[in-house]
Structure 1
């Protein structure tokens, strides 16, 4: 039989000073007796209470400064309630529950509305409220179904408002911040949110969410880790998850009203254990041995998987010796402002794009020609690629980038080189990491805006844009444009008259050397000016030769024999190596494979030329068509030679190769063809 709840409060006011002693006797099955002493005049008090507080109580950090703002302790002394300022800062104070041994704040009421050291926590019959020194209400408990009889701090760290029947009206365990403790459940749909820093408890960017099948970590609504990824995690059943709980033996995802373990993480036995999502974005489970804090588990284990570990566009590399992440900037990027860890384009004419909400983006993106993509180094990867599906499959790099250029939310792409998969980086850019997987062939590109040289030291915006356009520019630009139009019209008219006057006449260039230099292209056969040709042909009476070298087949011949230096221009002698020429030849031959599927895309071509991926190996079977074309040119040249006409070799090395080829068993077809003297190769 349950006895009725009885409460008797005795207030004793001592004549020797302004002290009130409140003693309460209760009977609810087991009688209890609690006393509290209140000091109404002294602003600095060393008095604190154990387990219970009663309405019409006021506390501030200043009033309890001797105890660091602490005024209520649990019965076992493991937890305390305080108006506390974490760290060494003196401006942000919070009404919070603290684990005494570790000094960890395991719950805070006003995390997003900190107060001053003289702000008051007021407990009355309606609940708890936090009033700042200016009288503004910063936080309060919700409306309760009945009047408050007492505030209790349990031995498990739960802060409870109780009614006169000992029933729970409100409890802190139902409103977790970044930590859960033994005896506390985190139901599906609820979350833990990290603090911004260790001394700024404001809601940070990282969250732990409990879903129907797992517990996940997210940054900016993007998943970067799952509880089931942990090597120690074990999946027991396929039941839907109801809640997550931590106890003396580990962490569990439970289903079927808590009767079935869905996923478990077994740890060593401990009487005290807490699970916390810290400010860095790592989920840690800790226990205590005497006064030493032990980290039983941390996820993700690879801290380079934490999205913002190295700031925006930073590059994270694991230090195998220290285990700490090393931060740097990817290729084509440099460190930005000294106030941030973010990276910015090395070329000051490029600037990173902001989000869709930025007015500057909507204005600047009207012209797609302003968009460019800076390539990240080979082996660089992004956390979201492991959790998001590609936006498109089976596309080339250009199509992938074009798709990103049309979306203001897209800030970059990763392109699967072998699969043609296109991954888009949305809304905000985090950190990148060097992938340890040999199977990763994704190439990363960051979308940038190309414009005037921006000021150094900017972050992610359009640091080179000025909001105050000079008035003098408004005058000079139109007038300059008009002057250029007039000048162009004059030059066009003058050119038309000269063209008409000289029509039908053979005009010798007034400055042959200048004319040749103006149109000289490195690597083409030698060009001759008018006077030289006139003299050599006896005023064009004697034909001295015809044709050109079929260069692709000659390049294939030299590739097969490994004689790459013979393909280099004579003017480059001593300035290029065989390896450099080999790289160009192999890439070029791969690009002219007869089967389109064997040809590399432009992204791969760039990566091979820059040495970031291995060179492709030309397929001789797919290059046999070059021999067919070479044979046709050779036959044409043979007709010219047999007719007794002279020929001239524009490529001495080619002629030498031909002589060697003719003396052997194989026949090369890299001959002078009877087409034109200075044609393309």
Structure 2
């Protein structure tokens, strides 16, 4: 308390008398702590209708005296938002309101939490009647709102946008364009669409989720189109003045209403407790009466869930750089049976490792992958489903949606090579390909015959399931097992099929850094784009297939869909959906193409932003594109002229897949000159903010309709005489955009071919968003999720810091010099100078 009091005195902050509860607003300078406002239970500000209060208080669900800055619904004592939920403070630690924002400090004067950099000084802090905590400037313009930073609770009048983090402990709710999914440690265990009361109302993509007394809704970008909803009974929330949705740290997503003096839960997802991944702990069995027990051969250990009774067996952890195992380890893999007629949450959301396989080979596939910690084997179909990365609870098949009964096996490790595993595992034991083949000559031939039969069956099925390899060498069986162990591989095409489809690769429609692209027509008459990969960093068939499997499972309306692949020898191809309008650079920069209207440009800008937002924060694996440019933005228009323009990003999957922990380690120079962020050129850490910079460059090109750097001919003579020597005029458009922004002359940046056919406020919005994306320091650039919101108008467009853009003044001149002298720039520049029909605008 002494440290906080000293800081207050030094900074001139005002400490109000104890017990004074503000209603209207609070002005800087202001200081608060639980001790100061102890008479009010730590509350220092309430909404005008007294429904909500802002307080520094102890969470009543915790025994330790740990304090948080929260917004609380007063009547029900429900916490709807917390600033420092992961870093509690003491009762004497403080909250400070200054002209730069809100700051929470601990007893050592270290910053625990603060609002981000704001566009102008703070004049007021208010708590409105909906529970939204708002910082305002002198003009009553919102600078920051707690509703824009949700934690684990969604209240009425609040929006949860697509891709925004909404989490509690190991659990997360993710709103997508067409659904909302619940995830545990990154693995999906429930979708909103699985509820009996859910239905789709529109095919439009969703922009946000909201809740009220009649249900949960996904709304479109106009804020009124209902895309998807889960209806609630009208009597559930009739007369309630407070309805909220909450994701608990127990994995339950609930909707509750407050009637009089009672909180009533009116919806729970999943409806069955046993479908919550950790409801009974590791390997805990959730029975039909919702009681938890351990399978036979296991016992409960505090904090560890169920573990083997035999101490010589241990449960492995998912692989990483330090604990991955292989043939050189002394541990021996075995499998303990955890039950028959059991189910697991992930089966409904992942592809099996393989189908039509026996249990021995199912376990073999798992043994060769250290991320696989167990399997569920379909007794009737022969499907082999993995338990990956984290082992949750299992449950009785009585709760399953399908008719398949599964037997569950969990992987264990033993230090002894002489243990009789058959007595412990039933059918489980340590397998190897060599051992299987050498069991007996007849057994070996039978096994090979089974595999050949599986391959023949898959070929007859027409490229379904996992990848197929030819049995042409002594390693072919091992290769088949390796590829089968990669879940989620799309259709595998043979080289001859693609050669036929593309007229022997004679219909080239494009080229890029990874190879040429050909148009192809498959036997079913579907048109595809076949991309030949000639410059890929991934080495080895299995590494290539692993990345392909991940790409194939990424689905978004603004991302080009991967339909299949080809892998034969050194030949590698991707089979992608065909986009009939080609890439944005051809449509926008080609002088012979019709002019893109402003509405189409907005659609392209927003669609591209949504794609990047999904790659960065919407899919299970964070993906940094690394090469955002018009050439990788593809367009499609249906045969019906009334069909909307489709905008899709390509080449996203070939970029380096990285985890959040690795994102600042990627420094290899890639991308395209003119779109590279400054950190590429300084060998600094690369992050998703590098994509944001590139997007900002593309956004300016969309506004102008030309490349950001152009070279034009300009005559020296005022009479335009043929004798006047032409000279080059270089224009670096980002610098011009900065200068026009400083003068608020945004319409002068618009493509002159549009002849003013655009709303000035929309042009201003795009230019300001683009400049925010171009700020030199990555942390100052917005996330792509916020870019989407700013472009759509649900979030005010930011004001870029001029000092963070001053680098454009020399960055542009350096780039101009590089382009005009480099062979990578406009080849044959002198020929263009002599030809007046070519203004050098497409360099």
> What TM-score results when the alignment is normalised by the length of structure 2?
0.46
Aligned-pair CA distance for 1:331: 2.0
What is the distance in 1 between the residues matched to 2:114 and 2:14?
Answer: 24
Q: Which residue in the other structure is 1:343 paired with?
A: 306
1:185 and 2:181 matched: no
Q: Which residue in the other structure is 1:217 paired with?
A: 182
Aligned-pair CA distance for 1:358: 7.2
What is the distance in 1 between the residues matched to 2:100 and 2:76?
Answer: 33
8 Å contact from structure 2 (residues 28, 123) kept in 1: yes
| Distance change >3 Å, CA 341–CA 318, structure 1 → 2 | farther
What is the distance in 1 between the residues matched to 2:142 and 2:377?
Answer: 55
Pairing partner for 1:286 from 246, 256, 259 = 256
What is the distance in 2 between the residues matched to 1:440 and 1:346?
Answer: 29
8 Å contact from structure 2 (residues 82, 151) kept in 1: yes
| Distance change >3 Å, CA 365–CA 354, structure 1 → 2 | farther
What is the distance in 2 between the residues matched to 1:316 and 1:341?
Answer: 16
| Distance change >3 Å, CA 216–CA 40, structure 1 → 2 | closer
Pairing partner for 1:265 from 226, 230, 238 = 230
Q: Which residue in the other structure is 1:163 paired with?
A: 137
Q: After superposition, what is the alpha-carbon deviation per residue over 1:477-512, rounded to whole angstroms, capped at 9, x for unaligned?
A: xxxxxxxxxxxxxxxxxxxxxxxxxxxxxxxxxxxx
| Distance change >3 Å, CA 121–CA 256, structure 1 → 2 | closer
Aligned-pair CA distance for 1:365: 6.2
Q: Which residue in the other structure is 1:504 paired with?
A: none
1:352 and 2:322 matched: no
Pairing partner for 1:401 from 352, 363, 371 = 363
Aligned-pair CA distance for 1:265: 2.1
The within-5 A match list for 1:11-160 is 40=15, 45-87=18-60, 88-160=62-134
Q: After superposition, what is the alpha-carbon deviation per residue over 1:99-122, rounded to whole angstroms, capped at 9, x for unaligned?
A: 111111100111122111111100
Aligned-pair CA distance for 1:315: 0.8
Corresponding residue SS for 1:55: coil
What is the distance in 1 between the residues matched to 2:121 and 2:110?
Answer: 23
| Distance change >3 Å, CA 140–CA 40, structure 1 → 2 | closer
| Distance change >3 Å, CA 418–CA 317, structure 1 → 2 | same
Aligned pairs, number: 400
| Distance change >3 Å, CA 262–CA 334, structure 1 → 2 | same
Q: Which residue in the other structure is 2:338 paired with?
A: 376
Q: Which residue in the other structure is 1:327 paired with?
A: 292
What is the distance in 2 between the residues matched to 1:369 and 1:176?
Answer: 45
Aligned-pair CA distance for 1:147: 0.5
Aligned-pair CA distance for 1:318: 3.2
- Single out whichever of 56-65 and 232-241 deviates more from structure 2: 232-241
User: What is the aligned-residue RMSD (CA, Å)?
Assistant: 2.2
What is the distance in 2 between the residues matched to 1:256 and 1:64?
Answer: 42
Larger radius of gyration: 1
Corresponding residue SS for 1:398: helix
Aligned-pair CA distance for 1:57: 0.4
Q: After superposition, what is the alpha-carbon deviation per residue over 1:297-318, rounded to whole angstroms, capped at 9, x for unaligned?
A: 1111100000001111111113
What is the distance in 2 between the residues matched to 1:248 and 1:329?
Answer: 40
What is the distance in 1 between the residues matched to 2:188 and 2:316?
Answer: 23
What is the distance in 2 between the residues matched to 1:161 and 1:256?
Answer: 25
1:313 and 2:278 matched: no
Q: After superposition, what is the alpha-carbon deviation per residue over 1:513-539, rounded to whole angstroms, capped at 9, x for unaligned?
A: xxxxxxxxxxxxxxxxxxxxxxxxxxx
Corresponding residue SS for 2:138: coil
8 Å contact from structure 1 (residues 368, 405) kept in 2: no
Aligned-pair CA distance for 1:266: 2.4
1:440 and 2:414 matched: no
What is the distance in 2 between the residues matched to 1:86 and 1:364?
Answer: 47
What is the distance in 2 between the residues matched to 1:400 and 1:318?
Answer: 28
Aligned-pair CA distance for 1:288: 1.1
1:175 and 2:149 matched: yes
1:450 and 2:414 matched: yes
What is the distance in 2 between the residues matched to 1:213 and 1:40?
Answer: 49
What is the distance in 2 between the residues matched to 1:109 and 1:222?
Answer: 26
| Distance change >3 Å, CA 276–CA 369, structure 1 → 2 | closer
What is the distance in 1 between the residues matched to 2:325 and 2:187?
Answer: 28
Q: After superposition, what is the alpha-carbon deviation per residue over 1:197-230, rounded to whole angstroms, capped at 9, x for unaligned?
A: xxxxxxx000110011101100011111111111
What is the distance in 1 between the residues matched to 2:159 and 2:350?
Answer: 29
8 Å contact from structure 1 (residues 314, 341) kept in 2: no
Aligned-pair CA distance for 1:262: 1.6
8 Å contact from structure 2 (residues 153, 245) kept in 1: yes
Q: Which residue in the other structure is 2:385 paired with?
A: 423
Aligned-pair CA distance for 1:364: 7.6
8 Å contact from structure 2 (residues 211, 217) kept in 1: yes
Q: After superposition, what is the alpha-carbon deviation per residue over 1:234-258, rounded to whole angstroms, capped at 9, x for unaligned?
A: 2222221111111232211112422
The within-5 A match list for 1:592-607 is none
What is the distance in 1 between the residues matched to 2:74 and 2:15?
Answer: 27
Corresponding residue SS for 2:70: strand
Corresponding residue SS for 1:49: coil
Aligned-pair CA distance for 1:421: 1.3
Q: Which residue in the other structure is 1:489 paired with?
A: none
Q: After superposition, what is the alpha-carbon deviation per residue over 1:136-172, rounded to whole angstroms, capped at 9, x for unaligned?
A: 1111100100000000000000000000001100000
Aligned-pair CA distance for 1:41: 7.8
What is the distance in 2 between the residues matched to 1:170 and 1:70?
Answer: 20
What is the distance in 2 between the residues matched to 1:142 and 1:192?
Answer: 19
What is the distance in 2 between the residues matched to 1:318 and 1:442?
Answer: 16
What is the distance in 2 between the residues matched to 1:307 and 1:358?
Answer: 26
What is the distance in 1 between the residues matched to 2:245 and 2:272?
Answer: 18
Q: After superposition, what is the alpha-carbon deviation per residue over 1:353-400, rounded to whole angstroms, capped at 9, x for unaligned?
A: 0121374x4368634871100012111111101111112122211111
What is the distance in 1 between the residues matched to 2:391 and 2:383?
Answer: 20
Which stretches of structure 1, 4 residues or more, deviate above 4 A after TM superposition?
A: 38-42
Q: Which residue in the other structure is 1:411 paired with?
A: 373
8 Å contact from structure 2 (residues 331, 413) kept in 1: no
What is the distance in 2 between the residues matched to 1:102 and 1:365?
Answer: 58
Pairing partner for 1:275 from 245, 260, 269 = 245
Q: After superposition, what is the alpha-carbon deviation per residue over 1:266-296, rounded to whole angstroms, capped at 9, x for unaligned?
A: 2233332111111211111111111111111
What is the distance in 2 between the residues matched to 1:358 and 1:342?
Answer: 25
Pairing partner for 2:271 from 267, 283, 301 = 301
| Distance change >3 Å, CA 364–CA 329, structure 1 → 2 | farther
> What TM-score results when the alignment is normalised by the length of structure 1?
0.57
What is the distance in 2 between the residues matched to 1:69 and 1:174?
Answer: 24
| Distance change >3 Å, CA 59–CA 372, structure 1 → 2 | same
| Distance change >3 Å, CA 378–CA 60, structure 1 → 2 | same
Corresponding residue SS for 1:169: strand
Q: After superposition, what is the alpha-carbon deviation per residue over 1:542-594, rounded to whole angstroms, capped at 9, x for unaligned?
A: xxxxxxxxxxxxxxxxxxxxxxxxxxxxxxxxxxxxxxxxxxxxxxxxxxxxx
What is the distance in 2 between the residues matched to 1:392 and 1:363?
Answer: 22
Aligned-pair CA distance for 1:259: 2.6
What is the distance in 2 between the residues matched to 1:46 and 1:365?
Answer: 69
What is the distance in 2 between the residues matched to 1:303 and 1:387?
Answer: 18
Q: Which residue in the other structure is 2:501 paired with?
A: none
Corresponding residue SS for 2:166: strand
Gaps of at least 5 residues in structure 2 are 1-12, 418-448, 451-843
What is the distance in 2 between the residues matched to 1:84 and 1:451?
Answer: 51
Q: After superposition, what is the alpha-carbon deviation per residue over 1:65-111, rounded to whole angstroms, capped at 9, x for unaligned?
A: 11111111111111000011102534421111011111111001111
